[in-house]
Amino acid sequence: MSKDATVPPRQRMRADARRNVDRIVAAAGALIAEHGAEASLEEVARRAGVGSATLHRHFPTRQALLEAVFKDRVDALCAKAEQLLSAPDPGEALFTWLRAVGAHAVANRGLGASLMRGADPALGSTCHDVITSAGENLLTRARAADAVRPGITIVQLLKLVSAISLATEQEPDGPAEADRLLAIAIDGVRPH
């Protein structure tokens, strides 16, 4: 296997091409948060400061762009979980991360459903696995500190956050409402 085969595609790019891809993904992420997964690709290119041809060279389909946005968001959630592993209060670290997962889910505004249409099933499975693993590490620390009720699993917590996000993603004040509902749910997770 060549050395290039082990390096992620973004890292093999020229610096200017990598900057273009990063700007496109950031612009697409912002537009998805504002308008949902059906945001205009032309507006993505305009906001990223690139031409439509540049956008399509890097992301030949809407699906490829949506997958890149989703993967970046998952990577950011996992990085946040890693940072929180050294937080002094394991319970608050877990709850901070769950709020970040909720904000991520609300900002996706239909991204998950759009990805399920024609997506590579491995992407969803891989993303689910890394998020679950990142959350499990935080939950293990919180459990050891008696900061959560016994018997609660990371899958249950992620389902709860997902349900709250789904219920609020179309509301004008969706992120704030999701955070309020998550605060109620977190109170139920704490030991009494």
62, pLDDT greater than 90 = no
Whether the pLDDT of residue 12 is over 90: the answer is no
| pLDDT band with cut points at 50, 70 and 90 for residue 4 | very low
**Where a domain ends, among 60, 84, 104?**
60
User: 13: which DSSP letter?
Assistant: S
- Same domain (yes/no): 178, 83: yes
User: So what's the pLDDT on residue 181?
Assistant: 93
Same domain? 85 vs 144: yes
Same domain for 55 and 101, yes or no, is no
pLDDT digits (tens, 9 = 90+) for 107-155: 776 665 555 555 555 666 677 788 899 999 999 999 999 999 999 999 9
Same domain, 90 and 183: yes
Regarding whether 137 and 169 lie in a shared domain, the answer is yes
* 61 vs 143: CA distance, rounded Å: 43
Could you tell me which residue, 126 or 180, shows the higher pLDDT?
180
Retrieve residue 186's tokens: 């977190």
Sign, Cα dihedral of 63, 111, 34, 155: negative
Instruction: Report in angstroms the alpha-carbon separations of 174 from 30, 66, 177.
Output: 15, 21, 5
- pLDDT > 60? residue 76: yes
Burial class (CB in 10 A: 0-12, 13-18, 19+), 92: middle
Domain containing 55: what range?
1-60
Mean pLDDT of the chain: 84
The pLDDT-based confidence of 169 (bands split at 50, 70, 90) is confident
Mean pLDDT of the 77-92 span: 96
In this predicted model, what pLDDT tens digit does every residue of 19-46 receive, in sequence order?
Answer: 999 999 999 888 887 777 788 899 999 9
